[in-house]
């Protein structure tokens, strides 16, 4: 999923247009302007991190192209003053491919590895916890209140599972969906709202329910 940075060339003008386009839609332009200044002067990479996000990085973040974490509050955020969390622990690594957008009120905790593909966007109040390995593909649409968690935080009979989560390219995840350890979602899938994903979902499937089951195959969404 990680693109070859030697072959990937994103011009400064493209990066600037990406930031400006989002800024013009913001309902808190002053905060976002200050966020741009801080991100460029302090963080030294192309990802813009909002001042409204409680950001702490004791690990590693790899920003391959321009991305936004909590930058730009619009009507979908509901409360423009609400804050989010983006925490990378000492053992954690985050890889952001170009044009990733994570809404302001999301909460992200990484002590393992989290990788997010190009042009994926994540809507408000989503929770991501990666204690092991979470991969989210390119061009994914992740709705409100989604939970993506790759750990039980407890063990049974001392058998601690470290199953990763893999979400393919162009996956649409509805609101209030829960995706837990071991979930493998193929490319082009649609996950219906309020579903629980606990296993393998074949590519281009529409799934729903608790636990999620295949409702339709060979789906195409846009």
Q: Catalytic amino acids?
A: 154
Closest CA to 173 of 134, 212, 130, 144: 144
| Partner residues linked to 90 by β-bridges | none
User: What CA–CA distances, in Å, run from 44 to 29, 58, 63, 86, 87?
Assistant: 21, 16, 10, 17, 18
Angstrom distance (rounded) from CA 72 to CA 158: 44
DSSP 98-127: TT-EE-TT-EEEESSEEEE-TT-EE-TT-E
- The answer to whether 187 touches 169, Cβ cutoff 8 Å, is yes
Joined together, the tokens standing for residue 212 give 């999620």
- The answer to whether 138 touches 120, Cβ cutoff 8 Å, is yes
């Amino acid at each position: 999923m990680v693109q070859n940075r030697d072959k990937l060339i994103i011009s400064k003008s493209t990066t600037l247009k990406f930031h400006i386009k989002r800024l013009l839609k913001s309902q808190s332009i002053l905060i976002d302007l200050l966020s741009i200044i801080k991100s460029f002067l302090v963080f030294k990479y192309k990802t813009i991190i909002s001042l409204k996000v409680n950001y702490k990085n004791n690990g590693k973040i790899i920003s391959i192209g321009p991305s936004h974490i909590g930058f730009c509050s619009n009507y979908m955020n509901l409360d423009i003053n609400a804050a989010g969390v983006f925490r990378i622990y000492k053992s954690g690594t985050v890889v952001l491919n170009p044009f990733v957008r994570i809404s302001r009120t999301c909460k992200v905790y990484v002590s393992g590895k989290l990788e997010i593909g190009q042009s994926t966007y994540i809507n408000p109040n989503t929770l991501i916890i990666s204690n092991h390995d979470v991969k989210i593909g390119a061009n994914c649409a992740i709705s409100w209140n989604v939970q993506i968690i790759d750990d039980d935080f407890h063990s049974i009979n001392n058998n601690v599972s470290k199953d990763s989560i893999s979400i393919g390219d162009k996956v649409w995840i509805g609101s209030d969906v829960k995706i837990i350890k071991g979930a493998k979602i193929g490319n082009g899938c649609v996950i219906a709202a309020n579903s629980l994903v606990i296993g393998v979902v074949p590519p281009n499937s529409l799934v729903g329910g608790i636990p999620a089951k295949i409702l339709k195959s060979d789906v195409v969404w846009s």
